[in-house]
């Protein structure tokens, strides 16, 4: 174990969190497992446990003076500090490198050494965080908030084990093999599937509801805050014992045997859960071997395969963003049971054992219970079964209100974005100038210099060096030479849904399709880190069904229970949306809004209801609000009212069929592109 260089919170002092503890320890035993993604609510010691892991990692041998942590036994032949033949060796702790969410691309991969370039005129490479993390741990807190272009860099490094830098006249390649550990709060958005698959294991954690455990957590934390050094010293013996167990498991790891039966169980489980690709099979095999070594065994057992599946498959199985995480335990047991070796010590063909006693569904164990206490089958576990619709409810005013209608299955939808370039919070929807985006050009500083564009600054200064009396090799710079970077990324927006819940929308088949479309757009907003809000209108007015929030799950729940019926006060819905946007503009002036109006365009309540709704739409258009009208009109005869409304909003009109078709076409194009890249 590396020596305790600071009073970090001890790993062994964390209360509970057994799955997270095991996932981190398995990666410490076998880094080939591929890291761990920790998903959970805020305040659950995610970051504390990851940082505490650094104190348990064995020391590593490095080439003396090498900034890229080359192994003396097998130095990197392409190391920028090489060659290292016959170099002396040093021993140091494995680094835990933290990658901040707002980090720049230069800081991640490295860049030109500014000091040497300006003072000596030498093009030298300054290593980034990927180089520092080599043979250690790369930790990303709130990894789901990382910018897409940085995710691409991590994907390349994780896939190839090397970092390639081509910028500002510098061409460098160096090894970058690290243990990737990320933490995230799912309420703030999901990861891209490509990066999600790069994490070997995933762990879902939540704060304990046991009062005694919570009290112990508070007690230990207060003791640590009062005297960190004394608290760490009190747990030093447990930390040392755990570090020694990690070392013993590492030594045992090469001796662990993965039998053909265990391998068949692993591949059968991956096939049963329909995971994409074969990375899951490989990760499960490595995790099962590490579990056996951690238990002090040289043979992989079924219990190792089962635990490996619980850690390696939840984030790889196909599911919608709003589906519950985790695995179907009954399906896992059933698959393992189908590939369990036959029992040799029981009577064959009898009622209590053998192939006739238990059957493949329960692995030869106790018979399945029946009756009122029997467990619910797959259909009951995965979702509610179809039931006949409830009769309409009588409203006090005499009109009838239909019962809530379930949403249709969501699908991949078209990307809607706000035109122009914004300056809002980082996200994945509309173009924006951001602090962490791609550098697209250089410009003279507008006010205080924020991000120096080095190459542009040098080019601006170069023609004037002779006139400025350049002394030796020093570069003479003046303020007028300075150039700053202009970075282009994407921002998150406020997506405000204005949903028509009137009687004209209340037909069960139509409302099912409408809710499915809105749910698809909610999923899209969830993945792009948008804030969402929902205004509904029916009867005599409009209401704010969901104030703007980042919790898209709440929006999905409100949508599912949305009642319908009554008149169509379209004007009231648009005016209420106008008021919501006005208030939000005061709260967050940089966040641009996207208005999604879900209606068939009909308006009732007065003789000039349609004209009044068009005037309300013109009010929104006059303030530059980006709008999309989801045209819900159906049937052989269509009035085109929704498209007229879109024209007054200066926005687009998209029908339900067009939205679904464009989403499917987009998915097909992306799939074809991915396949072509893999083939190349």
- Whether residue 528 lies in the annotated active site: no
Of the candidates 128, 226, 116, 129, the residue with the CA atom closest to the CA atom of residue 454? 116
Residue 96: φ, ψ to 5°: -105, 110
Structure tokens belonging to residue 617: 């739409």
CA 557/CA 546 separation, integer angstroms: 10
CA 408/CA 510 separation, integer angstroms: 10
Sole residue written with tokens 């329960």: 362
Q: What does DSSP assign to residue 205?
A: E
Task: Find all residues with CB under 8 Å of 606, minimum gap 6, and list them.
Answer: 612
CA 614/CA 646 separation, integer angstroms: 9
Where is 19: in which H helix or E strand? Answer: helix 18-29
Task: Find all residues with CB under 8 Å of 142, minimum gap 6, and list them.
Answer: 101, 183, 184, 185, 188
Paired sense of beta strands 179-184 and 36-40, if any:
parallel
DSSP secondary structure letters along 578-617: HHHHHHHHHH-TT--EEEEEEE-S---SSTTHHHHHHHHH
Cis bond before residue 83 (omega within 30° of 0)? yes
**E strand segments, 199-262:** 201-205
**Centroid of chain to Cα 615:** 41
Q: Which of 177, 279, 297, 638 is catalytic?
A: 279
CA 90/CA 101 separation, integer angstroms: 32
Which residues are designated catalytic?
279
């Amino acid at each position: 174990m590396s020596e305790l260089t600071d009073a970090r919170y001890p790993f062994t002092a964390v209360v509970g969190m057994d799955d997270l503890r095991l996932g981190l320890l398995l990666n410490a035993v076998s880094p080939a497992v591929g890291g761990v993604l920790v998903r959970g609510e805020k305040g659950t010691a995610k970051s504390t446990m990851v940082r505490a892991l650094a104190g348990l990692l064995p020391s590593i041998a490095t080439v003396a003076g090498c900034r890229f942590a080359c192994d003396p036994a097998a130095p990197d032949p392409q190391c920028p500090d090489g060659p290292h033949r016959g170099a002396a060796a040093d021993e140091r702790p494995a680094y835990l490198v933290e990658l901040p969410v707002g980090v720049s691309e230069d800081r991640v991969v490295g860049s030109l050494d500014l000091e040497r370039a300006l003072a000596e005129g030498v093009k030298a490479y300054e290593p980034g965080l990927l180089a520092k993390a080599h043979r250690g741990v790369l930790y990303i807190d709130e990894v789901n908030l990382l910018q897409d272009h940085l995710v691409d860099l991590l994907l390349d490094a994780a896939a190839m084990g090397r970092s390639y830098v081509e910028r500002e006249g510098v061409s460098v390649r160096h090894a970058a093999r690290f243990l990737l550990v990320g933490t995230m709060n799912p309420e703030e958005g999901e990861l891209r599937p490509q990066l999600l698959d790069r994490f070997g294991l995933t762990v879902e954690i939540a704060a304990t509801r046991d009062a005694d455990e919570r009290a112990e957590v508070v007690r230990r934390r207060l003791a640590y805050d009062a005297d960190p050094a004394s608290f760490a010293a009190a747990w030093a013996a447990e930390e040392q014992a755990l570090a020694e167990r990690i070392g013993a498991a590492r030594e045992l790891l090469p001796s662990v045997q993965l039998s053909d039966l265990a391998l068949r169980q692993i591949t059968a489980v991956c096939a049963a859960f329909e995971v994409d690709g074969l990375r899951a099979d490989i990760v499960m095999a490595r995790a099962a071997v590490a579990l056996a070594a951690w238990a002090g065994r040289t043979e992989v057992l079924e219990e190792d395969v089962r635990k490996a599946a619980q850690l390696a498959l939840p984030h790889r199985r196909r599911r919608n963003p709003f589906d519950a995480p985790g695995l179907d335990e009954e399906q896992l047991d059933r698959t393992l049971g189908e590939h369990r070796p036959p029992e040799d010590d029981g009577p064959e063909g009898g009622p209590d054992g053998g192939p006739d006693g238990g059957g493949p569904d329960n692995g030869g164990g106790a018979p399945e219970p029946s009756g009122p206490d029997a467990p619910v089958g797959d259909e009951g576990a995965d979702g509610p079964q179809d039931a006949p619709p409830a009769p309409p409810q009588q409203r006090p005013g005499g009109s009838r209100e239909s019962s809530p209608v379930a949403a249709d299955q969501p699908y991949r939808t078209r990307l809607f974005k706000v035109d122009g370039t914004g300056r809002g919070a980082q996200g994945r929807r509309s173009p924006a100038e951001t602090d962490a985006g791609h550098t697209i050009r250089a410009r003279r500083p507008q006010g205080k210099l924020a991000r120096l564009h080095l190459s542009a600054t040098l080019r601006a200064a170069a023609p004037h060096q002779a006139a400025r009396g350049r002394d030796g090799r020093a570069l003479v710079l003046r303020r007028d030479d300075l150039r700053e970077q202009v970075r282009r990324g994407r921002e998150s927006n406020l997506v405000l849904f204005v949903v028509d819940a009137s009687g004209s929308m209340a037909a069960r088949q139509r409302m099912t399709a409408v809710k499915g479309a809105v749910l698809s757009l909610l999923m899209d907003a969830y993945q792009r880190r948008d804030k969402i809000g929902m205004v509904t209108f029916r009867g005599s007015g409009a209401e704010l069904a969901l104030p703007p929030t980042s919790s898209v799950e709440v929006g999905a729940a409100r949508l599912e229970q949305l009642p319908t019926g009554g008149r169509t006060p379209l004007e009231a819905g648009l005016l209420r949306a106008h008021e919501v946007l006005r208030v939000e503009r005061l709260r967050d002036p940089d966040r641009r809004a996207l208005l999604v109006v879900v209606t068939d365009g009909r308006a009732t309540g007065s003789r000039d209801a349609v004209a009044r709704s068009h005037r309300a739409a013109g009010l929104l258009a006059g303030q530059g609000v980006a709008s999309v009208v989801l045209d819900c009109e159906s049937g052989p005869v269509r009035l085109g009212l929704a498209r007229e409304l879109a024209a007054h909003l200066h926005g687009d009109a998209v029908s339900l069929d067009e939205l679904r078709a464009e989403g499917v076409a987009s998915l097909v194009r992306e799939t074809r592109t991915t396949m072509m890249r893999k083939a190349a």
